[in-house]
Chain A
């Protein structure tokens, strides 16, 4: 019993030592802060809903609706610019104004100078909606939170899957060699030959891709593809180390050598792959949902897709809350994971440690 405890303690010590080492890397810490920040965002949304601070009717990222009511003055845009009221054509109708042509069909008898109740959609950021609402009156901040949940689930799931597959297969290929090795290498060649984006297009054409389907597909493709080759070359270097030979001489079985000697020595590299894999998965998901190929309720890519379809991206910074937050979130979270990976690599890769 005490042995187990001491083992646990030494593990704890080891962990804190490693974490202290990781803390030296500013790059890694920056990444970690970003990832944790988005993690908090992802967890905060269900808490806000459950505690009743947010109600589903207003703040639901997919079906919520809230619109700011305001009283608009009906105007007719003059033909010549600049005039005393507007300096450019695009200034008319201004804020709290609406053109006569656009309301006349629904309100017969209305004339210039009247006032009319209107709803502002998309509404700009206010105290109630921190990042405003989108063109359908949904809260953007809530959508960002939902998007970060999707990104975390998808990124971690697919990266874990791909790393587990590639580590096991790569070690097997290196250890057994021969036919198994050739088969696995040619299989990853085959998958690397297929262009990835068109392939995902085809897959999304004959199945409805949900988040976890996509995680499975990306994880399997990534796991069977390029990373097997890299893990295998690493495992080949481990295989020729003396301790593997001595394990064999002392009578270790093949499985024993594979799982308790080769795999643990490949694991650090595999962990690194996993961190970088998260970056790739988040990017792929965003691109696919940007192109509208995923059967998904809400994600960062979809938010960009909606604001592009409605033409808000082409208006630049006028509707910044529809353009900037979603794209920046994808960039930051993917970059955050990548920075964590770089930091880990700088600190734990013995060939990169400081002089």
Chain B
């Protein structure tokens, strides 16, 4: 096992090196470079462009640049952004990443719970008319043409009903004389969301062994209500009271993207749960449970659904990797200034250091996730033999 892990580490390093080189070559293959707009500026002298290109070392041959980049990368030096000069890629990512993670973590949690519930019920009602129709509907909400759907949602809620803002992170006019930076407020919001979800999760864990269903439900509702009261107290305390309105503004802008992405994303979980749950329902122990005379709902929720949860959770871990990739389109349509926008801008405007840094961030996340998945599969499934994996 140790040998396998070690060789995997070695391979991962090699793959990552290849990944860096390949991405650099890809960015270099895009015609032009980030400074070409200097050529169009008539008030600059002729040599300005050449000077800047030389300053950033873009006139050197590709091989030298790749070599420099890779060596500096492993030293921990990611260079400076070409287009937002004094900022480093790390600054930019640190600014943008929390916004993307916050938005999509909430979406993922919502879609995970709702999808798991719907899938559970679908598998249980297999063959009925409602199962067919709900499955077909969720397939269409899974394959819906996403940009089109998002634009229609924007039109409906933003323009026609005028309930929600049309994209963007905040209303700039509300922030003119704000005593805080929006990032500071946002970090407070992230903290609050973390506390809230942690407490909520704890309530769920502690109540899950209560036998009577109605009693459990009542305790959960009371717990949730007291959490809400606690959060009102939390936001009226100390400096958070001043931030309250500003945080509310950001939260108001998050509603529409969250609803839209959840509608698209929940169906994937629902369909996966449906399949795994159908497999589980054929197991012998379900038959045993029925023979014992346990109530149907209990068999569904306790015996079948918990087993079906495992593959769904695994796929849930993988969706975390694809968050940033998937964020590109969403953030573009909703003008949400997160990682996706950063990648898109840096790729289109050839801000190579920023693009490379964000690509390698995604790459490292994906590598680590695959590594963990491989190791855990090897532990969990004796059929997949370590030896044959090499």
Contacts and interface: CB of A to CB of B under 8 A. Distances in A.
B9 interface: no
A332 interface: yes
B185 interface: no
B357 to A, nearest CB: 13
Contact of B127 (A196, A304, A354): A354
A351 B311 CA distance: 15
Nearest to A25: B132
Q: Is the interface of A mostly helix, strand, loop or mixed?
A: helix
B163 interface: no
A355 B280 CA distance: 11
Contacts of A190: 15, 18-19, 22
Interface string A179-218: 1011001100110111111110110011000000000000
B359 interface: yes
A352 B367 contact: no
B279 A27 contact: no
Contact of B347 (A26, A177, A198, A335): A198
Contact of A236 (B152, B348, B366, B388): B388
A335 B160 contact: no
A134 interface: no
A339 B139 contact: yes
B293 interface: no
Contacts of A194: 19, 22-23, 359, 363
Contacts of B148: 290, 304, 323, 326-327, 330-331
B55 interface: no
A338 B275 contact: no
Interface stretch (A35-43, A74-82, A121-129, A279-287): A279-287
A198 B12 CA distance: 23
Q: How large is the interface on A (under 10, 10 to 19, 20 to 34, 35 or more residues)?
A: 35 or more
B325 A195 contact: yes
B343 A195 contact: yes
A244 interface: no
A179 B389 CA distance: 9
Interface string A17-32: 0000000001100100
Interface string B1-38: 00000000001101100110011001101110000000
A331 B384 contact: no
A313 interface: yes
A241 B144 CA distance: 40
A195 B15 contact: no
B3 to A, nearest CB: 13
A280 B46 CA distance: 48
B328 interface: yes
Nearest to B339: A195
A233 B384 contact: yes
Nearest to A315: B155
A168 B12 CA distance: 24
A323 B160 CA distance: 15
Contacts of B367: 189, 193
A338 B11 CA distance: 36
Nearest to A187: B15
Nearest to B325: A195
B149 A327 contact: yes
Interface of A: 26-27, 30, 174, 177-179, 181-182, 185-186, 189-190, 192-199, 201-202, 205-206, 233, 236-237, 239-240, 279, 283, 286-287, 290, 300-301, 304, 308, 313-314, 316, 323, 326-327, 330-332, 334-335, 338-339, 342, 345-346, 351-352, 354-355
Given A194-B23, A314-B155, 6 more contacts: A27-B132, A181-B390, A189-B12, A283-B146, A327-B152, A330-B148
Q: 5 closest Cβ contacts across the A-B interface? A: A327-B148, A330-B145, A334-B143, A193-B363, A195-B325
Interface of B: 11-12, 14-15, 18-19, 22-23, 26-27, 29-31, 126-127, 132, 135-136, 139-140, 142-149, 151-152, 155-156, 159-160, 271, 275, 278-279, 281-282, 324-325, 328-329, 343-344, 347-348, 355, 359, 362-363, 366-367, 370, 383-385, 388-390
